[in-house]
Amino acid sequence: MSIISYRFVSRFLSSRTILHNKNRTMLSNNISARINMIVMGNGAMMQPSVIVTTDKINYLFNCGEGTQRMIIEHNKFLKLGKLHNVFFTGTTYENWSGFFGLILTVADIKNQLKFYGSSKFEQIIQMYRQFLQSASKVELQHIVTDNSDAVIDLIDDDDFLIRSLSYKESTAYIVIAKDKIGRLLIDKCKQLNIPPGPKFAALKNGQTIEIDDRIIQPGDVLGPPEPGAAIVILECPQFDYLNDFYRKVKNFTPYVHGKQIELVVHMTPATIVSDSNYQQWIKTFDSNVKHLILNENSGYDLGLISSTELQIKLNLLDNEIFPLLPERQSSGENVDFECQKIIENVPNLFTYQIRPRRKFEILDSNCRYLNSGKIQEEILEQTEFKNRLDEYKSMAITNQQQSYPNVIFLGTGSSSPGKQRNTSGILVNVNTERSILLDCGESTLLQMKRFFGHDHYHREIGRIDAIFISHYHADHHFGLVKLIKERLKLSTKPIWVIAPYSILSFLDYFAINFENISNGYRGIACETLLFDKLTKKLNQNEEKQELLRQLVINEIATVLVPHCFESYGIILEIFGKKLAYSGDSMYSDSFDHIAQNCDMIIHEATMNDDLWQEAEYKRHSTISQAINVGRRIGAHYTVLTHFSQRYAKIAPITLIDDKSLASYIEKQVVIAFDFMQISFTNLARAARLKYPLEVLFDEEIQRMQDVVTKRNNKRKLLEEFS
């Protein structure tokens, strides 16, 4: 077995090969008291994935889109900082599509991450290197699993022996929990006159002691060891894998080191699981073995509670602008899993407890259903909020019906996903037949599933005719490949991808070397649609005219903006309405010119005003700067988005000191949220939402005010002593 170590020190990778060897012991005296295997993705919403958690280290098996957000949402028990090892059962995009976003997230908290999988990952790493410059502190170690026909020992630590067995480009993992040394029997210690203290500790740790010339073995005073167990995690992705699969994994018994296999996790498509040969192979296991099936037939379920709860609260303000998310399908709420041999249709965060005792459970705090009526009733009990809400509703003009064009915000956070806000994604519906997506951060497709519902999101994906990518930073395009793949299943008509050259080159490389998605998209460089800042004219060429005809819009143009290399803003004119989107940008004369007098400007507002120096360093806009752009160019309405996750619940717009902006803020500024749906006919209403929002999030606003005050006081002290 070889390990290849990477560092993302530049656009090229430094790498080195490391030898790996450990002595094995199957009885541990430093074993975790609690060991769980938790379903991260049940296959319906997210790619099949599980995480094994212990007191010290967590082990993740597969990392599809949305994995890092799931870990962040449930960090109380999943603990991102404890994640040291990631295992891949295969090389298809869905297995690892969330991995590189995860790397960027963990870069701030750890300096090493190991991952296990096919040698093909070397090429995948090379392909993604250009997007991982901010992860330069992380040493990434790749343990190759497919360079041997034999079983490979990957990990031998306090809790587990983990082994791999490869077939074609897939890998099965055998996770063997070690026996835990038995409990110290106090009565026996008393009989042997062993004094409490260090002697007890030594015996509990499996050490021999000596008292009064007597040798006392741990076995003299310890109860029987708590036996470990074996879990097998595997995938058979396609029918052409089956022959090699059956030949290699015919019998796992020789590889489990004398332990009983208790659970087999099948991350295998439903068509293969239902195949008669596969069913016959399942029957070859001992009758006590349970089989957990994770695939697309699982119940529609995600487990992102915080953002769903936020939407319920916002829905109370305006049910047109903040529609309730579709109810999830029932999945395993009242099933006695202990009595089942084949376990299917489980929700995300379904848990198999390995220690302290074997059992299946659905932790109610993790997978609970939210009672929207009860949540809203509790909020309405607050008198001040009810008064503000009544005032808003008396002033708001209700819309007769949804008009076009309209805008749905799928992701309004910056950098990385958080509990309440996903990364950038804005869906512009041109009419009932077609739409344009502005940026496509990781899990944009999942956000569409959540908004439109499992039964309808395919229709909405089929409507997307173009995707604009503003620049190459990961939070703006890590969901692009998945969306192209999904749409390719629905339509032979390629989707227009309007993007910088770096993104188009990446897509072409992916299509040639990994999965042929070339029929799913047609690339057009942002430069082709570029506004000429010297002549102040819009570019007109044949490719652009073809794009306009297919999108059925009046105008489209891009403009270079100051952020990173190849960063662009865009304007769209649809049925006489002008919409401008800044992408990520500082102040820009060119963008101001092209966005002049627009009906709606969607502008990034990453940081609060007191962090203007950090915003300038990172080439972002503060909230006041974004509002100033809207006012300066005569925008009818300015919609703020791309907030730092510091402001996940509410942007601190009330903390703005610039009184000259007060009138514009009052009537013409809108704070965007994930799953917010606005049209040009309800923007006036959306702008007035700020007032009930102030009361709804008063504690959060006060917390942010306290942070700003402390930060300002610290600055003053530093200035006094400098």
Confidence of residue 134 (pLDDT cuts 50, 70, 90): confident
Taking only the tens place, the pLDDT of each residue in 433-468 is: 999 999 999 999 999 999 999 889 999 999 999 999
Q: Which of 219, 187, 224, 225 is nearest to 203 (CA)?
A: 219
With a cut of 90, say whether residue 608 has pLDDT above it.
yes
Cβ neighbours of residue 383 under 8 Å, at least 6 residues apart? none
The span from the CA of 423 to the CA of 610, in Å, is 23
Q: Count CB neighbours of 626 within 10 A.
A: 27
Predicted pLDDT of residue 1: 63
Taking only the tens place, the pLDDT of each residue in 361-380 is: 765 444 556 788 899 999 99
The whole-number average pLDDT for the span 687-698 is 93
The span from the CA of 202 to the CA of 600, in Å, is 71
The span from the CA of 73 to the CA of 229, in Å, is 29
With a cut of 90, say whether residue 540 has pLDDT above it.
no
Confidence of residue 27 (pLDDT cuts 50, 70, 90): low
Q: Which of 62, 48, 449, 65 is nearest to 269 (CA)?
A: 48
**Structure tokens of 406?**
């309209």
Q: State the DSSP code for 226.
A: B
Q: State the DSSP code for 184.
A: B
The span from the CA of 340 to the CA of 292, in Å, is 10
Cα dihedral 679/680/684/687 (nearest 10)? 60
Rg of the chain in Å (alpha carbons): 28
- Averaged pLDDT score across all residues of the chain: 89
Distances (CA, A) of 325 to 61, 190, 308, 434, 470: 29, 62, 7, 22, 28
Rounded to whole angstroms, the maximal C-alpha distance in the chain is: 98
With a cut of 60, say whether residue 399 has pLDDT above it.
no
Q: Do residues 503 and 480 make contact, with C-beta atoms less than 8 angstroms apart?
A: yes
- Weakest mean pLDDT among 10-19, 309-318, 680-689: 10-19
Confidence of residue 12 (pLDDT cuts 50, 70, 90): very low
Domain 396-712 fold: Metallo-beta-lactamase; Chain A (3.60.15)
Predicted pLDDT of residue 14: 44
The span from the CA of 66 to the CA of 410, in Å, is 14
For the sheet containing 261-266, what is the strand order? 152-156, 160-167, 170-177, 230-234, 261-266, 290-293, 342-343
Distances (CA, A) of 187 to 204, 219, 220: 14, 14, 11
**Structure tokens of 621?**
């806009």
How many CA atoms are closer than 13 Å to the CA of 466, on its beta-carbon side? 25
Q: Which of 332, 55, 66, 281 is nearest to 172 (CA)?
A: 281
Q: Which of 636, 633, 612, 635 is nearest to 624 (CA)?
A: 612
Taking only the tens place, the pLDDT of each residue in 58-114 is: 999 999 999 999 999 998 888 888 999 999 999 999 999 999 999 998 887 877 899
Q: State the DSSP code for 605.
A: -
Q: Establish whether the linkage from the previous residue to 562 is cis, with ω within 30° of 0.
A: no
The span from the CA of 10 to the CA of 132, in Å, is 9
- Bridge partners, residue 143, by sequence: 3, 116
Predicted pLDDT of residue 513: 93
SS3 state of residue 695: helix
More confident residue, 480 or 198: 480
SS3 state of residue 54: coil
- Helices 501-513, 480-490: axis angle to 10 degrees equals 60
**Structure tokens of 158?**
């306090």
Domain-wise residue ranges, the chain: 3-20+35-180+226-362, 186-221, 396-712
Q: Do residues 48 and 267 make contact, with C-beta atoms less than 8 angstroms apart?
A: yes
- Weakest mean pLDDT among 2-6, 498-502, 665-669: 2-6
The span from the CA of 637 to the CA of 678, in Å, is 12
Is the entire prediction scored with pTM above 0.85? yes
Q: Do residues 322 and 676 make contact, with C-beta atoms less than 8 angstroms apart?
A: yes
SS3 state of residue 692: helix
State in words which class domain 3-20+35-180+226-362 has: alpha beta
